Amino acid sequence: MPRWLPRALVLSLVLIACYHFASWAFHRLLGLLVNVVISFFCAVAIEPAVSWLARRGLRRGAATGLVILVVLLAGAGFVLALGSLLVDQISTIVRNLPQYVNDVVSWSNRSFHTHLSTGNLRNRVLHSNWVRAYLSHGASNAWGIGATVFGIVFQLFTVLLFTYYMAADGPRLRRELCSVLPPARQAEVLRAWEIAVDKTGGYLYSRALMALISGVAHYILLQVLGVPYAPALGVWVGVVSQFIPTVGTYLAGALPVLIAFAENPWDALWVLGFVIVYQQFENYLLQPRITARTVDMHPAVAFGSVVAGAALLGAVGALIAIPATATLQGFLTAYVRRYEVTDPRAE
């Protein structure tokens, strides 16, 4: 046996053990790593607002807490607005459900010459085996639902905590990172950090401004037409149309059109026309002016980044895909040199 073979076997076993341990630790810490990545993008997004407040005399920790509080209040307002709309719709459906059932039964009896009875139909449904199985299954899953809600709340608290410390201690974090690098590398890291803050924060703030303008415009139209839930629908159109690329416009416009159609089909036609006209106004006049100083991302690139982010990290990846792509686009703009195309075949 060669003298190096035992040492090679021991080294191979140690490397295999280290690989399995690293793989096990990575899968165990994957959730924490995802939360850290989300927190980093959140901290980068609120960095301009925190720095603006800090330059005006407010302590950086208090400024970070104030910005996070404003963001949380805005998110809570969005959820409450949509929640009130959803609760009102569900209560209306529940209140009118007996009448809906009577109408369906009467239509079936007239159209198909059946002899259905509302009372017999209700008894058969309530005493059927599938209803009992569904209720028992829902009762058994109550603990699982509670654990899921607790896990979501814990993850949200973790993200908020990391976001606060990354934003409040941003300058110190940069100094600690640069202290282990040579001076040439320090300049590159600081430049990359500034690009990330500028592009990510600028993109999100420009989207928030366009969401505000879109929400107010659609709210005024819905209020003039007398469509119910105009404030909630205005918030829905503004947020969904701006923060979900490509398909967000159609998702945002579908809900007010449907609710307006339930009240008056002509109102739905007016809402649909306004959504189309406003989208053209936003694409050709509003968006180029607002995003000219931040980052102008092509819709196909935004949509592709969301699909890629969802494929990698699910819903979380879809949420952080656009800020990540905006940052990458900023890096490419700063570091990649472009040349003028002189060949006429490229036209």
What are the structure tokens assigned to 310, written together?
């969802």
What residues contact residue 225 under an 8 Å CB cut-off, 6+ apart? 260, 267, 270, 271
Taking the C-alpha atoms of residue 189 and residue 184, their distance in angstroms, rounded to an integer, is 9
The dihedral sign for the CA sequence 256, 262, 267, 273: positive
pLDDT at 24: 92
Closest CA to 159 of 281, 41, 8, 326: 41
Angle at 174 between CA 184 and CA 187, to 5 degrees: 20
What backbone torsions phi and psi does residue 231 show, to the nearest 5 degrees?
-60, -45
What residues contact residue 69 under an 8 Å CB cut-off, 6+ apart? none
What backbone torsions phi and psi does residue 276 show, to the nearest 5 degrees?
-65, -45
What are the structure tokens assigned to 198, written together?
């500028």
Query: pLDDT per residue over 85-138, tens digit each?
Result: 666 766 766 676 667 667 777 777 777 777 776 666 566 655 556 555 655 565
Q: 3-state class of 37 per DSSP?
A: helix
pLDDT at 177: 79
Taking the C-alpha atoms of residue 26 and residue 20, their distance in angstroms, rounded to an integer, is 10
Q: Which residues of the chain have pLDDT under 50?
A: none
pLDDT at 282: 81
Taking the C-alpha atoms of residue 46 and residue 54, their distance in angstroms, rounded to an integer, is 12
pLDDT at 257: 87
pLDDT at 48: 82
Taking the C-alpha atoms of residue 25 and residue 33, their distance in angstroms, rounded to an integer, is 11
pLDDT at 18: 95
27-36 own/partner pairs: CB under 8 Å, 24+ apart: 31/155, 32/158, 34/313, 34/316, 35/155, 35/158, 35/159, 35/162, 36/162
Question: What is the signed CA dihedral for 137, 143, 144, 146, rounded to 10 degrees?
Answer: 130
Please provide the DSSP assignment of 58-124 as one string. --HHHHHHHHHHHHHHHHHHHHHHHHHHHHHHHHHHHHHHHHHHHHHHHHHHHHH-----HHHHHHH
Look-up of token digits 């509302």? 118
pLDDT at 14: 93
Determine contact, residues 74/231, Cβ cutoff 8 Å.
no
Alpha-carbon Rg for the chain, nearest whole angstrom, is 28
Taking the C-alpha atoms of residue 226 and residue 220, their distance in angstroms, rounded to an integer, is 10
DSSP 158: H
